[in-house]
Chains A and B, each alone.
Chain A
Amino acid sequence: QSVLTQPPSVSAAPGQKVTISCSGSTSNIMNNFVSWFRQFPGTAPKLLIYDNNKRPSEIPDRFSGSKSGTSATLGITGLQTGDEADYYCGTWDSSVSAVVFGGGTKLTVL
């Protein structure tokens, strides 16, 4: 059971927008930076969003991040079949002095 809660799966049609939620608590999301990672099967995760809403230079602006209170959200617009992957949120948890991750969300582009 993960400290951060994500929906197990989300789906949307090509070209549409999807959001993935990440719910935590005051000891983690509320007071620390949130990152988002994308992982294709059999490969290492890749950083999509850091510091709640910043994108590494190579990540297109179709990807966005936001945070409010104890929850964070990843948004993806203009969905492509190549976006099908697992997405994870992560942040520091002060109560356990560790980085914690969500359980992951599988994105299906129908």
Chain B
Amino acid sequence: QVQLVQSGAEVKKPGASVKVSCKASGYTFKNYGITWVRQAPGQGLEWVGWISAYKGDTNSAQKLQGRVTMTTDTSTSTAYMELRSLRSDDTAVYFCARGEEQWLPYFDYWGQGTLVTVSS
């Protein structure tokens, strides 16, 4: 069965970086992309970005461009999302989801979420 398993919760200081992993299993990793979505406490969903597991093409939300990097390791079927220069408003649960194309919101499988807390 398809599974996306994310790394554990993180606590970071403002200005630091965080790297969240998302390990996929149960399907051919290269045939799909990975979308990242975040959710601040008590708030709605916010799209972070998308990466093609096959080509490595990426696209990220304009407000995060320059601070976010998405990568994949096809040898371990793992996707990574790194966010730099963390601010308090980056505190959120970060989800990865399987997504075929960046323009198609067909997110059929999700990771369990990773809480990233940014606090001094």
Which residues of A are at the interface with B, using a C-beta cutoff of 8 A? Answer: 2, 32-35, 37, 39, 44-47, 50-51, 56, 88, 90-92, 96-104
Q: Is the CB of B44 within 8 A of A2?
A: yes
Q: Of A32, A47, A99, which contacts B108 at CB under 8 A?
A: A47
Interface status of B35 (Cβ within 8 A of chain A): yes
Return the chain A residue nearest B98 by Cβ: A47
Return the chain A residue nearest B47 by Cβ: A99
Return the chain B residue nearest A99 by Cβ: B47
Over the window 58-79 of chain B, the binary record of Cβ atoms lying under 8 Å from chain A Cβ atoms (1 yes, 0 no) is 0101100000000000000000
Interface status of B89 (Cβ within 8 A of chain A): no
Instruction: Kindly state the interface size class of chain B when it binds its partner.
Output: 20 to 34
Return the chain A residue nearest B46 by Cβ: A101
Q: A47-B106, A47-B108, A56-B108 are in contact. Are A37 and B45 (CB under 8 A)?
A: yes
Interface status of B26 (Cβ within 8 A of chain A): no
Q: A45-B110, A97-B59, A98-B62 are in contact. Are A33 and B47 (CB under 8 A)?
A: no
Within 8 A of A (CB), among B73-120: 95, 97, 102-108, 110-113
Q: List 13 A-B contacts (CB under 8 A).
A: A32-B103, A44-B110, A44-B111, A44-B113, A45-B95, A45-B97, A47-B108, A50-B106, A56-B108, A90-B105, A96-B62, A98-B61, A99-B50
